[in-house]
Structure 1
Amino acid sequence: MRASSHPNALRVQEALGPSFIVVEFAESTHTAQEAADAIGCSLAQIAKSILFRSQTGKAVLVIASGVSKVDEKKIRTLLGEKIERASPEFVKEATGFEVGGVPPVAHVSSCVVFLDENLKAYPTLWAAGGTPNAVFEIGFGQLAEMSGAIVADVKR
Structure 2
Amino acid sequence: MSVPPENLHPRSRLVHDALRAAGILGEIVVLPDAASTAALAAAALGIEVGAIANSLVFWSDDEPLLVMTSGAHRVDTAALAERLGRGRISRASVEQVREATGQAIGGVAPTGHPAPIVTVVDEDLAAFDQIWAAGGTPHTVFPLTYDELVRLTGGTVAKVD
- The residue number in structure 2 matching 1:8 is 11
- How far is the alpha carbon of 1:14 from its aligned partner? 0.2
Per-residue CA distance 1:104-125 (angstroms, 9 max, x = gap)? 1111122110000011100010
Q: Percent identity?
A: 38
- Tell me the C-alpha RMSD between the 2 structures: 1.2
Amino acid at match of 1:15: A
- TM-score for both structures, normalised by structure 1: 0.95
Amino acid at match of 2:136: G
Measured in 2, the distance between the counterparts of 1:60 and 1:15 equals: 19
Would you say 1:24 and 2:30 are equivalent positions?
Answer: yes
Amino acid at match of 2:9: H
SS state at 1:52 partner = strand
- The residue number in structure 2 matching 1:144 is 150
Aligned pairs (5 A) from 1:1-156: 1-3=1-3, 5-17=8-20, 19-54=25-60, 56-77=61-82, 78-155=84-161
The list of structure 1 runs, each at least 4 consecutive aligned residues, that deviate by more than 3 angstroms after superposition, is: none
Amino acid at match of 1:64: T
Measured in 2, the distance between the counterparts of 1:74 and 1:107 equals: 27
Contact 1:44 1:65 in 2 (8 A): yes
Task: Tell me the matched-pair count.
Answer: 154
Amino acid at match of 1:57: D
- How far is the alpha carbon of 1:36 from its aligned partner? 0.5
Structure 2 gap ranges (5+)? none
